[in-house]
A and B are shown apart, each in its own frame.
Chain A
Amino acid sequence: MDENLKIELGKQGIVVTTLQELYNWGRRSSVWPMNFGLACCAIEMIATTMARYDLARFGAEVFRPSPRQADLMIISGTVTKKMAPQVVRLYNQMAEPRYVIAMGACAISGGPFKQGYNVLKGIDRYIPVDVHIPGCPPRPEALLQAFIALQKKIDGQHLTGEDRPRFLDAEAQGEFPVPEQGEHDLVPTSNKGVWPIKIQGLGTRD
């Protein structure tokens, strides 16, 4: 539907919408994050949910203690190689559609502990990440902005067509392989399906 026509009708007091818009509005207004923190970033995440920053304004105050009821996984902190399989398994256990916010330098790249033998250099090696937030730790405002960015992403998802998201594609796999502890590193060291990340217009990043 034409945007201008919709605005004109809105001025006359007529609300026009589509099923897709309604569906996405409902989904983005009730994203339930998983009750799950990994390191210091989790303290900022907790602060974001409290009265001062109030994540509840965006409909995401219901932190669920079980992956079965959660839509959003906030990777808040350093992912060690000991913890990575658990994180990937929890992601697998979440019901679709599911989203991931990688919060802080550690979650997106290993951060200040990148040289550590025991630290995973970014969780996006194993699971698809929707929003990355830099910062060490990011302030609650940054998490709020990431959340708004995620809401915009959900708003733009199509129900049908070639560019529909993975969870609507019956052919797409829902399982992301859980890495195992090898002799020197996690096996495999990354999931070839999601890593390296494909950035449009830039080819692949290593």
Chain B
Amino acid sequence: MSSSPYFSLAVLFVAALAFGLGPLGLAWLWARFYSPRKPNPTKNSIYECGLVSKGDAWVRFRPAYYLYAIIFLIFDVEAVFLLPFAVAFSGLSAAACIAMLVFVLLLVEGLAWAWAKGILTWA
């Protein structure tokens, strides 16, 4: 058996398992003898900064929020590009102006699409 090329691998596998499970088992044993459980309703309630918790922690977030956030992010970044564009505007070549125009119009088209889809209406 020890002649098998996979023998050392098996030994390492068992050692790795013991390395992980050993401390967990010891901690479990320790908790069993030296850490009596004291649950109570206050302790088990949902954490809400010390206030009495209301409802469940598993609340739903509307996907509309994420679409709204992504659109905001895109135009936030666009503003970063628009500022140097405006500062250097008088010294720009026609090609640079057209490139910038394409960039802005693409984003405007995206905004028009989102508007037509009704994403901007919070309902």
Residue of B nearest to A89 (CB): B50
Are A170's CB and B36's CB within 8 A?
A: yes
Which residues 69-92 of A have a CB within 8 angstroms of B? Answer: 85-87, 89-90, 92
Are B40's CB and A175's CB within 8 A?
A: yes
Is residue B3 contacting chain A, with contact meaning CB distance below 8 A? no
Known contacts: A96-B35, A159-B34, A168-B36. The answer to whether A68 contacts B47 by CB under 8 A is yes
CB neighbours of A168 from chain B (8 A): 34-36
In the complex, A174 Cα to B45 Cα: how many Å? Answer: 14
Is residue A145 contacting chain B, with contact meaning CB distance below 8 A? no
Give the interface size class of chain B. Answer: 10 to 19
Is residue B116 contacting chain A, with contact meaning CB distance below 8 A? no
Of B35, B39, B40, B42, chain A has the most CB atoms within 10 Å of the CB of B42
Is residue A169 contacting chain B, with contact meaning CB distance below 8 A? yes
Is residue A66 contacting chain B, with contact meaning CB distance below 8 A? yes
Are B38's CB and A96's CB within 8 A?
A: yes
Which residues 172-186 of A have a CB within 8 angstroms of B? Answer: 172-175, 178
Are A86's CB and B47's CB within 8 A?
A: no
Smallest Cβ distance from A157 to chain B, in angstroms?
11
In the complex, A87 Cα to B47 Cα: how many Å? Answer: 13
Are A86's CB and B50's CB within 8 A?
A: yes
Enumerate chain A interface residues (CB-CB to B < 8 A): 23, 66-68, 85-87, 89-90, 92-93, 96, 159, 167-170, 172-175, 178
14 extra interface residue pairs, beta carbon distance < 8 Å, beyond A159-B34, A168-B34: A66-B47, A86-B49, A87-B50, A90-B50, A93-B45, A96-B38, A167-B35, A167-B36, A170-B36, A173-B40, A174-B38, A175-B38, A175-B41, A175-B42
Enumerate chain B interface residues (CB-CB to A < 8 A): 34-36, 38-43, 45, 47, 49-52
